[in-house]
Amino acid sequence: MCLNACSSRLASAAKVPDFSSRDIFVPTPQRTHIILSAMINFIKFSGQCAPVVQKVHKKAEYLAQESESLISRACQAGDAVSTAPVRFFGCLPIHRAHLICFFFREKRKADESRVEDLSKDDETLNTELLARRDVQLTLLQEIETLKASRAALVQKKV
């Protein structure tokens, strides 16, 4: 029973879809050749891919650790920056976080006109795209009708 279960698992991994106990207990030469070829190919392929997969797993593990360390360092730096006051042109101390927000607000105000222009361009491109899609659909329907009529003519001719 264990032999059949293990063989079935190996056969399904080797993409032999219709493997059964009949293949073990009443084998035919042609079927046995197909199954063994599939299993040998699978084992060779697995052996060739193993070093590559191990490399990818090691690199992914390293990158995950690196990512975690960078995130923790960024959080520590953000905490240090947001709590430290700074003098802005010799005036009262201002927290860096407020200063950063101020610059982002100014940048957003400067970019608003460009965003509006790009939004208008996007809308016109979308309407043109929809119009062209409608034309394409009608042309495709026309092509299908022409193909059908051609097939009918060829059928009639034969």
Tell me the per-residue pLDDT of 32-76, one tens digit each, with 9 for 90 and over: 888 888 888 888 888 887 888 788 888 888 888 887 887 777 767
d(CA 130, CA 144): 21
Beta carbons of 15 and 40 less than 8 angstroms apart: no
pLDDT in tens, 84-132: 555 545 554 555 556 666 677 777 777 788 878 888 888 888 888 888 8
pTM for the predicted model, two decimal places: 0.37
Helix, strand or coil for residue 93?
A: strand
Q: Each residue of 93-105: b (16+ CB within 10 Å) or e?
A: eeebeeeeeeeee
Question: What angle, 0 to 180 degrees and rounded to 10, lies between the N-to-C axes of helices 29-83 and 96-157?
Answer: 150
